[in-house]
């Protein structure tokens, strides 16, 4: 959703959206130490139902 806002909002609002994206990145960096799992966690979830984690 936030990535989509960057496409639709005026540039004057982009800094706020990027700040929010950064807030979401912090727990990913902290909790997902495995690079493969971190890459999955960083994928956008357009439906809001969670990522496709390997079982």
Give the pLDDT confidence of 10-41 residue by residue, as tens digits: 999 999 999 998 998 999 999 999 999 999 88
Task: Give the pLDDT score at 49.
Answer: 62
CA distances from 35 to 6, 28, 31, 38, 42 (A): 26, 11, 11, 5, 10
- What is the residue extent of each domain of the chain? 14-43
Output the six-digit token pair for 35: 């690079």
Q: What is the pLDDT of residue 55?
A: 47
């Amino acid at each position: 959703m936030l990535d989509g806002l960057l496409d639709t909002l005026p540039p004057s609002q982009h800094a706020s959206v990027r700040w929010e994206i950064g807030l979401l990145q912090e727990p990913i960096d902290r909790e997902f130490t495995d690079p493969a799992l971190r890459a999955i966690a960083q994928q956008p979830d357009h439906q809001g139902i969670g990522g496709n984690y390997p079982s």
